[in-house]
Amino acid sequence: MPETLDFEQPLLELETRIAELQALDDPAQREEIGKLEERLQRLRQKVFSSLTAWQTTQLARHPRRPHTRDFCKLLFEDFLELHGDRLFGDDPAIVAGLARFEDQSVVVIGHQKGRETREKITRNFGMPHPEGYRKALRLMQLADKFRKPIITFIDTPGAYPGIAAEERGQAEAIARNLREMSALRVPVVAVVTGEGGSGGALAIGVGNRVLMLRYAVYSVISPEGCAAILWGDAAKAAEAAEIMKITATDLQKLGVIDEVVAEPAGGAHRDWDVTALNLKAVLADHLRSLRGKTEDALVNERHERFRRIGAFEEEFRPSS
């Protein structure tokens, strides 16, 4: 995937021109630089205020977007990664461990896609095997035992569908996580940071609160997969993305997520620090609001939250 997306190209050209003039260090160019910066700001606002669902999907998959390990460095103190599911092995596609957030001990779990080619292969492009979900469950049970809040970061195309994963019980591992997460007696906050795909995302996404970064996406299937099923043509992914309602603003309106977390101008990949500051403030607010709830209240709230999704009412219309 290219680091500069098609709709970002006009912005890149302006940024390059500004950088060239700044490198000259010529006072006579200051007025021109100021005009170009104002033009860049207006253009950036115009482009990012009218993104299509497909363009948002491309941003969610951007190779420079911060991943779980990046957020662990930016948001937490004393992060200690734990490995293995105590059954088969360790899955690098899931990062999990202990940390401190706002002077409170928490358990952190998230998908990790990898950035360079070697790391992407090692982490299976963020598509976990069953042992990844079982590792996540082991950490959730640890959090439940010691009454520590859980924070999860969702960023995966989906669970790995390979033969080895099926042989080791991929569907069972996901289903067990859904069941066990629904009964956790501690606060759970899930954050969709990039691409949230299908059960592979939901397996660590059953939270009291579900948040999304502004340019993340969350869906039961990828736009390409949806297009291939509906029209037999994955090239119609852009059309599928529009009708699937996968963006943060659409999902908030539908009640699937609770809050949209702002990203810096141009997307999270442009400024990790600002993204982390925005997310930190929202996370702190939600954890604070959940801290005083009883165990029964946390479980009941989580049940009710997911039962409301997809609810509908029947309207009786007498025949004429």
Mark whether 44 and 67 lie in a shared domain: no
pLDDT band with cut points at 50, 70 and 90 for residue 278: very high
Report the CATH number that the domain containing residue 214 is assigned in CATH: 3.90.226.10
Looking at the domain assignment, is residue 62 inside a domain? yes
Contacts of 197 (CB under 8 A, 6+ apart): 156, 157, 158, 219, 221, 222
Looking at the domain assignment, is residue 316 inside a domain? no
Looking at the domain assignment, is residue 292 inside a domain? yes
Mark whether 296 and 153 lie in a shared domain: yes
Say yes or no to pLDDT of 17 above 60: yes
The torsion angles phi and psi of 171, rounded to 5 degrees, stand at: -65, -40
The torsion angles phi and psi of 96, rounded to 5 degrees, stand at: -150, 145
Question: Which tokens sit at 31?
Answer: 């007025």
Mark whether 96 and 116 lie in a shared domain: yes
Mark whether 124 and 15 lie in a shared domain: no
Say yes or no to pLDDT of 311 above 70: no
CA atoms within 13 A on the CB side of 3: 7
- Total count of domains within the chain: 2
Compute the average pLDDT of residues 238-253. Answer: 93
pLDDT band with cut points at 50, 70 and 90 for residue 181: very high
User: CA–CA separation, 133 vs 93, rounded Å?
Assistant: 10
Looking at the domain assignment, is residue 314 inside a domain? no
Looking at the domain assignment, is residue 272 inside a domain? yes
Domain that holds residue 20: 6-50
- Residue of 24 and 158 predicted with greater confidence: 158
In eight-state DSSP terms, residue 25 is T
Looking at the domain assignment, is residue 284 inside a domain? yes
Mark whether 159 and 32 lie in a shared domain: no
Nearest to 160 by CA among 203, 217, 116: 203
pLDDT in tens, 133-155: 999 999 999 999 999 999 999 99
Mark whether 41 and 68 lie in a shared domain: no
HEC profile of 218-282: EECCCHHHHHHHHHCCHHHHHHHHHHHCCEHHHHHHCCCCCEEECCCCCCHHHCHHHHHHHHHHH
Looking at the domain assignment, is residue 319 inside a domain? no
Mark whether 31 and 126 lie in a shared domain: no
Mark whether 136 and 152 lie in a shared domain: yes
Looking at the domain assignment, is residue 320 inside a domain? no
Mark whether 142 and 13 lie in a shared domain: no
Mark whether 146 and 219 lie in a shared domain: yes
pLDDT in tens, 70-111: 999 999 999 999 999 999 999 999 999 999 999 999 999 999
HEC profile of 93-124: CEEEEEEEECCEEEEEEEECCCCCHHHHHHCH
Which pTM does this prediction carry?
Answer: 0.89
Mark whether 192 and 102 lie in a shared domain: yes
pLDDT of residue 249: 93
Phi-psi region of 304 (alpha: psi -120 to 50; beta: other; left: phi over 0): alpha
Find the radius of gyration of the CA atoms of the chain: 21
Burial environment of residue 206 by CB neighbours within 10 A (0 to 12, 13 to 18, 19 or more): buried
Residue 266 and residue 44 in contact, taking contact as beta carbons nearer than 8 Å: yes
Residue 61 and residue 28 in contact, taking contact as beta carbons nearer than 8 Å: no
User: CA–CA separation, 51 vs 131, rounded Å?
Assistant: 37
Question: Which tokens sit at 65?
Answer: 């977007």
Mark whether 66 and 40 lie in a shared domain: no
